[in-house]
Each structure stands twice: as structure tokens, then as C-alpha cells.
Amino acid sequence: MTASFLLIVQIVLVVVLVIAVLLQKSSSIGLGAYSGSNESVFGAKGPASFLAKMTFLIGFLFVVNTITLGYMYSTAASESVVDNLVETTDVVAPSTPASTPEVPAAAPTTPASE
């Protein structure tokens, strides 16, 4: 698994966890009012225990994914690009400076007579 895939899973888990928490019943009903009137799908106790179990499961997966991402990024941070470079010191400097081509002397100019 790559870190980018786990990062996408982390973002999806965060969104689903926030929705699961907001759907739970509280003193001020919150978004639980939008869950619909057909609560028999979740069993006799309604969605309260189902949502609590799902929230716990999603929270557990979130923590495991966070620890995995932390481990992967910490091992990747210990590696450096400089560690993978190969030293190449086979370049030999010339002992004498390179000769410069001779520039031909310019023809002497005579002042123009008036």
C-alpha cells in the first residue's frame, strides 16, 4: 500500500466519522432528525446502538490508519536524497591553463589628414 492511498482512505474515514457522529441522537437532535422515520431496518432498539457501533468501528479504523500513516511517513523521512548520491571525484583538473589563441595585431591606423 502506498502512502497516497492511505491518505485518501484517511480523508474518507474523517468524512464518514463526522457524519456518523452528527447522525447520533443527542439532547438537541442534530442531524439525526434527517435519518428518516423507518427505523425498523436497524433493529428493535433503533439506530442508536447501530450508530454507536459504526462510530466505534470507524473511529478504530481511523486510529489504525493514522498510526500506519505516521509510521510510513517517519520511515520515509529518515531517508535522504543525499544518501543515494554516488560520489564521483574522477574529474582531473588540468595542470596548465588552457592556451588562448593569439589575436592578430590590428593594422596601425593613420590619422586622416584634412
pLDDT 10s digits, 48-64? 688 888 999 999 999 99
Q: H helices then E strands: how many in the chain?
A: 2, 0
Confidence of residue 13 (pLDDT cuts 50, 70, 90): very high
**Among 54, 69, 90, residue whose Cα is nearest residue 10:** 69
Pick the more confident residue, 8 or 49: 8
60 phi and psi angles, rounded to 5 deg: -65, -45
| Mean per-residue pLDDT, 91-103 | 65
- Tell whether the torsion through CA atoms of 18, 22, 26 and 27 is positive or negative: positive
**Residue 104 contacts residue 38 (beta carbons within 8 Å):** no
* pLDDT for residue 38: 47
The answer to pTM > 0.75 is no
Cell of 73: 511517513
Return the residue matching grid coordinates 510510513. 72
Pick the more confident residue, 77 or 66: 66
Confidence of residue 23 (pLDDT cuts 50, 70, 90): confident
Return the residue matching grid coordinates 535522504. 80
Return the residue matching grid coordinates 536524497. 81
